[in-house]
Amino acid sequence: MTVNINALENFLNGQSRYVNRGRLLVKCPDGPGIVSALSKFLFEHGANIIESSQYTSDPEGGTFFIRLEFDCDDLMAKRSVMEGDFTPLAKEFDMDFRFAYSSDRKKTAIFVSKEPHCLLELLWEWQSGDLQTDIAFVAGNHEDARGMVESLGIPFHYIPANKDIRNQVEEEQSRLIEQYNIDVIVLARYMQILTPEFVEKYPNKIINIHHSFLPAFIGARPYERAYNRGVKLIGATSHYVTNDLDEGPIIEQDIERVDHRDHVADLKKIGRSIERRVLARAVKWHLEDRVIVHGNKTIVFQ
């Protein structure tokens, strides 16, 4: 197996730097005293808050969201006690909460078809150390990406796919996901529709890039339809996958201006650049626990 030295060094540096770094994400009914109670709890457990972001959906009876990032000496030895001690506070404020730890590096699987631009962006971000994850494997329904993936020491699995063998394909994908203990699945222009059964297995763990500024041009061939409609802006949308096609909670979007001189090929070329950066940002924020899903929306603490 080939080992990418730069990626390995980035991994080791990241591990040592963030070994005592934790995150606490909370969603609860809004009310007085929440921030004070959370700060006091972390202080009493020897934690120093280094980043805090919060949002209230409505100052009068809305929902309160907060992400706290903290540093705590010997955190790995303290985490179980800290989580147990948090339960009474969570009950008091009716909190939906989650602790996360930077040392628990998430494992990512990437699904790809023929177009490699989104995959290449993720690999570059990973190599540079800006994507704090282990890319456990890449699965493709075409062989095109094998060379670029295996040159970095990442396993590539070729799984031919079409609508007639969808269940068989997803059985193999699920087997790999379980084998590698995957935390997040990224669809990097993977041009296959997932079955409801597959999607339900991994709620809010499948991130897709759609080559349109949703809700415009849901489904196939959005650039062709955008050209026929004469749009002046094109965009891309990264979202969590649900069983409503291209309608899952949106994580990130971006746009660029176009005009009458841009034909379909031009729109696609411009769009690829947007897709790459939108997907990379969405994956990065998910890995850093900056996203809270609320219904069919997201709160993203950038």
Active site residues: 246
Q: Are residues 297 and 250 in contact, defined by beta-carbon separation less than 8 angstroms?
A: yes
The CB-side HSE value for 120 (13 A sphere, CA atoms) comes to 11
The pair of structure tokens assigned to 27 is 């969603």
Q: Are residues 63 and 29 in contact, defined by beta-carbon separation less than 8 angstroms?
A: yes
Q: Are residues 46 and 72 in contact, defined by beta-carbon separation less than 8 angstroms?
A: yes
**How big is the CA angle at 31 (ends 29 and 36), to the nearest 5 degrees?**
115
Element (H, E) at 22: strand 21-29
CA dist., res. 68 & res. 28, Å (int): 14
The CB-side HSE value for 158 (13 A sphere, CA atoms) comes to 8
Comparing CA positions, the residue from 45, 146, 32, 25 lying closest to residue 93 is 32
C-alpha of 274 from chain center: 17
CA dist., res. 183 & res. 106, Å (int): 6
Comparing CA positions, the residue from 69, 66, 81 lying closest to residue 21 is 69
Residue written as token pair 């062989």:
143
CA dist., res. 230 & res. 224, Å (int): 10
Element (H, E) at 205: none
CA dist., res. 60 & res. 152, Å (int): 52
